[in-house]
Amino acid sequence: MQIRDLPHPDPGVPDARTGGRLLLWLHGQQLGGQAKALVWGLVHTGAVASFPLPVGLAVQAVVDRDGGQLARSGGLMVLLGVLVALGDVMLHRSAVTNWITAVARLQQLLARKTTELGSALTQRVAAGEIVAVSTGDLEKIGWFVEAVSRFGAAALTSVGVCVALVVYQPALGIVVALGVPVLALAVLPLLPPATRRADVQREKAGRATELASDTVAGLRVLRGIGGEELFLGRYRSASQDVRRAAVRSARMWSLISAVQVVLPGLLLIAVVWYGVRLVQDGRIAVGELVTIYSAVAFLLYPLRHFEEIAMAYSFSRPSAKRAARVLALSRPSGGTAGAPEALDGDLYDPVSGLTAAAGRLTAVVCGDPDAAGRLAERLGGHPAETDTGTDAGTDAGTDTGTDTGTDTGTDAGTDAGTDAGTQPSVLLGGTALDDVPRDAARAAVLVQDKDPVLLSGTLGELLDVPSSGLVGTQEALAAAQCGDVLAALAQASTDDSGDPMRTRITERGRSLSGGQRQRLALARSLVADPAVLVLDEPTSAVDSHTEARIADGLRRLRGGRTTVVLSSSPLLLDRADQVVFLSDGKVAATGGHRDLLRGHPAYRAVVTRETDDAPVTPGLAPPEETPLRLGRWDQIEETA
């Protein structure tokens, strides 16, 4: 495969049982490229290895005053020079192509795995580790893939040179043939400690990367509490640990390099000393000594490749292990039954007893925000993932999938949950979502997480998601009350067009406030117009006036479509067709917001932030405006 043919039409199914098996599989996928690089490597190293012969003939021709022999030797050197140049260029092209195509294959595999796992990925693997695998680890794996062909060519050429020396001049050839393997194996005792030091360095670098990633993700919060210096000190300490580990690792590798220089130098001295004795005894000619000396000097070149392949393998082995660990993650794809023509109807969760009527706006009140998040994930078709203790930054976003046409909030992961195999599936129109293909479930139910993430790109790209086509972009933006966001983006337009749809949004939407990000994410979900839309605290970062208008727009735009809103905001609850109150994960009450305020003390305590024993006059309705604002403290939209 050539670089221009990338990306791979199908990256294949990797053998991710171990890092070594992954490397073997990767080599097996590009045998043609490796063979091509090996051939060009043999041309290059073979031509270099053959240079001592015409050089020796030329020296002997000068000694014998043979002009014809000197001319023939010169012509042979010109030919070998052309082969060296051609082989070197083509070897470099082939080796780099192998590097790039191998890295591209792994990048595609990692991207496919990310899409498959969705939000479950960062719950099972630390976000910093994912970054390390996708960047530095892939580079080290590619280095090893690229170095194999060059090392193979150098090793085969070295064997050929040793055999030729034994045939050409047995006395010196045997010395060289025995000495070169000893030189190559002399560094083997140093490789294990060098590898261990390199592993320690990479481990510390990975922790520093994770710390930096988590710090950047939480920078807004750190600034709010004045914690920048504290985390800067932690990162500075971690960075110094990485530096010290890198210095210790470099010392060992420099020792290996020194050994690779000193020992071959001693061999070369021994060969010259013995060769001069043979010339003095008249057993070999001066030209033959020059040829042997040049051949031994060439053999120092493959030893460098031996050092490089050892270093490349020691660095790529743990990198491949980490990549294999990510690629080995899996989750069931669903689909034990064929997908129905249309998934529609009431949404029923047998765990909590919640029923969201088809075509209506249902608000769900949970006293525990974490329970609300688990319910949202379950409504998306999969039980919630349990915490694996990686502190992996679940804020990486469970709503990013809408940028590619699917919402990973519906993809909460079933593999690692302790009760994933025991909880019954959510039913949509009587059909278990676990029994239909995951793509069909994702298309039917879209879940927007409470902390949605905006990927980098223009606003037009953000809203360009697969949809029913029934909801236009402007309608969705208007319903989500994004007027001020559009005005701000229009002013920030880099091409002076004033078109907010062409303005780029920075990574994770960090250039926007929390409320602006939340409203743009809501607009994105509204444009998708799924059969069932589940929103987890969609207005928690906006002020009360904007929230009221969003509630009206949501009710208007989603009329006739099933919508579930998990929130304790009175403004949203008052506009819902039905309010469901969950206590301890089970449905405790169902009805209208005002009726529940009057008749259910526990519901009133959650919504108004009052205690359960707050006095209420029986039969007396609460004031018209008060319950709509209690507990909200006239929220001010975040602008930091």
Supply angle C-alpha 91, 148, 15, rounded to 5.
125
Tens digits of residue pLDDT in 513-547: 888 889 999 999 999 999 899 999 998 888 889 99
> Highest mean pLDDT range out of 75-89, 161-175, 286-300, 313-327?
75-89
Half-sphere exposure of 588 (CA within 13 A, CB side): 17
Report cis status (omega within 30 of 0) of the bond before 350: no
Ranking 140-149, 205-214, 312-321, 446-455 by mean pLDDT, the lowest is 205-214
More confident residue, 9 or 172: 9
pLDDT average, residue stretch 50-76? 84
Give the pLDDT of residue 267.
79
For all residues of the chain together, what is the average pLDDT?
A: 79
147's CB contacts (< 8 A; 6+ apart) are 95, 305, 308, 309, 312
Please, which pLDDT band fits residue 119 given cuts at 50, 70 and 90?
A: low
What's the 3-state SS for 125-169?
A: CCHHHHHHHHHHHHHHHHHHHHHHHHHHHHHHHHHHHHHHHHHHC
Write the pLDDT tens digit of every residue in 178-187.
877 777 777 7
Helix, strand or coil for residue 201?
Answer: helix
Task: Report the run of H or E that residue 446 belongs to, with start and end.
Answer: strand 445-448
Those residues whose C-beta lies under 8 Å from the C-beta of residue 174, and which sit 6 or more positions away, are: 166
- % of the chain with per-residue pLDDT over 70: 83
Tokens representing residue 3 in the block: 């670089």
How many CA atoms lie less than 13 Å away from 81 in the CB half-sphere? Answer: 8
**Binning pLDDT at 50, 70 and 90, where does residue 417 land?**
very low
pLDDT exceeds cutoff 60 at 94: yes
Contact 106, 30 (CB under 8 A): no
Q: Confidence band (pLDDT; 50, 70, 90) for 339? A: low
State mean pLDDT over 576-585. Answer: 92
pTM over 0.75: no
Q: pLDDT by residue (tens digit) across 121-130?
A: 766 776 667 7
Q: Which amino acid is at 188?
A: L
Q: Each residue of 615-629: pLDDT tens digit? A: 444 443 444 433 443
What pLDDT was estimated at residue 60? 81
pLDDT (mean) for 353-365: 93
Contact 562, 347 (CB under 8 A): yes
Task: Kindly tell me if the per-residue pLDDT of 507 is higher than 90.
Answer: no
Contact 400/455 with Cβ under 8 angstroms?
Answer: yes
Out of 138-152, 392-406, 612-626, give the one with best mean pLDDT: 138-152
How far apart CA 454 and CA 168 sit, in angstroms, is: 70
Rounded to whole angstroms, how far apart are CA atoms 304 and 570? 72
Q: Which of 432-446, 526-540, 600-614 has the lowest mean pLDDT?
A: 600-614
How much is the average pLDDT of 297-321?
Answer: 80
Instruction: Please state the rounded mean pLDDT for residues 220-247.
Output: 79
Mean pLDDT of 70-82: 90
Distance, in Å, from the CA atom of 176 to the CA atom of 181, rounded to the nearest integer, reads: 9
Task: Answer whether residue 600 shows pLDDT above 50.
Answer: yes
Token pair 């117009």 is found at 529
Q: How far does Cα 28 stand from its chain's mean position?
A: 23
Which residues have C-beta within 8 Å of that of residue 161, sequence separation ≥ 6?
49, 295, 298, 299
Instruction: Return the higher-pLDDT residue of 205 and 558.
Output: 558
pLDDT tens readout for residues 371-395: 888 888 888 876 544 433 333 333 3
Give the confidence band of 406 by pLDDT, cuts at 50, 70, 90. very low
Structure confidence at residue 317 (pLDDT)? 84
Q: Residue holding tokens 């983006």?
A: 489
- Element at 458 (helix H, strand E): strand 457-458
Residue 629, SS3 per DSSP: coil
Name the DSSP letter for residue 500.
G
By C-alpha distance, which of 394, 450, 414, 453 is closest to 125? Answer: 394
Q: Residue 586 belongs to what H/E stretch?
A: strand 586-591
pLDDT in the model for residue 633: 35
Residue 365 pLDDT greater than 90, yes or no: yes
Query: Do 527 and 476 touch, CB atoms closer than 8 A?
Result: yes
Query: Which helix or strand (DSSP H or E) is residue 563 part of?
Result: strand 562-566
Q: CA-CA distance, 14 to 20, in Å (whole number)?
A: 12
129: its two tokens: 């580790």
Position 188 scores a pLDDT of: 77
| Statement: residue 594 has pLDDT above 80 | yes
208 touches 239 (CB < 8 A): yes
DSSP reduced 3-state for 561:
coil
Q: What is the mean pLDDT of residues 109-135?
A: 76
Q: How far apart are CA 349 and CA 424, in angstroms?
A: 8
Above pLDDT 90, what percent of the chain?
20
Query: Can you give the pLDDT at residue 422?
Result: 56
Q: pLDDT category, 591, cuts 50, 70, 90?
A: very high
Please give the Cα distance from 10 to 33 (Å, whole number).
17
> Tokens 């990013």, residue?
400
- Tokens linked to 231: 């985390």
Is the per-residue pLDDT at 402 higher than 50?
A: no
Integer-rounded Cα radius of gyration of the chain = 34
Residues facing residue 581 across a β-bridge: 365, 589
Helical residues (DSSP H) of 558-592, grouped into ranges: 570-573
Put the strands of the sheet holding 361-366 in their side by side order: 445-448, 532-536, 562-566, 361-366, 578-583, 586-591
The more confident residue out of 40 and 332 is 40
- Residue of 536, 412, 448 lying closest to 119 (CA atoms): 412
Region for residue 631 given its phi and psi (left: phi exceeds 0; alpha: psi -120 to 50; beta: otherwise): left
Q: Is the pLDDT of residue 416 over 70?
A: no
Q: 191-205 burial, b if ≥16 CB within 10 A, otherwise e?
A: beebbebbbbbbebb
The answer to whether residue 310 scores a pLDDT higher than 60 is yes
**Identity (one letter) of the amino acid at 396?**
A
- pLDDT digit string (tens) for 314-327? 788 888 888 898 88
Which of 202, 218, 217 minimizes the C-alpha distance to 133? 202
Q: What is the C-alpha separation between 106 and 141, in angstroms, rounded?
A: 9
What lies within 8 Å, CB to CB, of 424 at 6+ separation is 350, 351, 432
Q: Quick one: pLDDT band at residue 112, thresholds 50, 70, 90?
A: confident
CA distances from 510 to 215, 316, 506, 623 (A): 14, 34, 6, 40
Quick one: pLDDT band at residue 106, thresholds 50, 70, 90? very high
Give the Cα separation of 308 and 250 in Å (integer): 14
Q: What domains sit in the chain, N to C, each tagged with a CATH number?
A: 3-327 (1.20.1560.10), 347-383+410-448+530-540+559-640 (3.40.50.300), 454-529 (3.40.50.300)
Task: Give every strand in the sheet of 354-356, ordered side by side.
Answer: 354-356, 347-349, 427-428, 431-432
Higher pLDDT, 102 or 439: 102
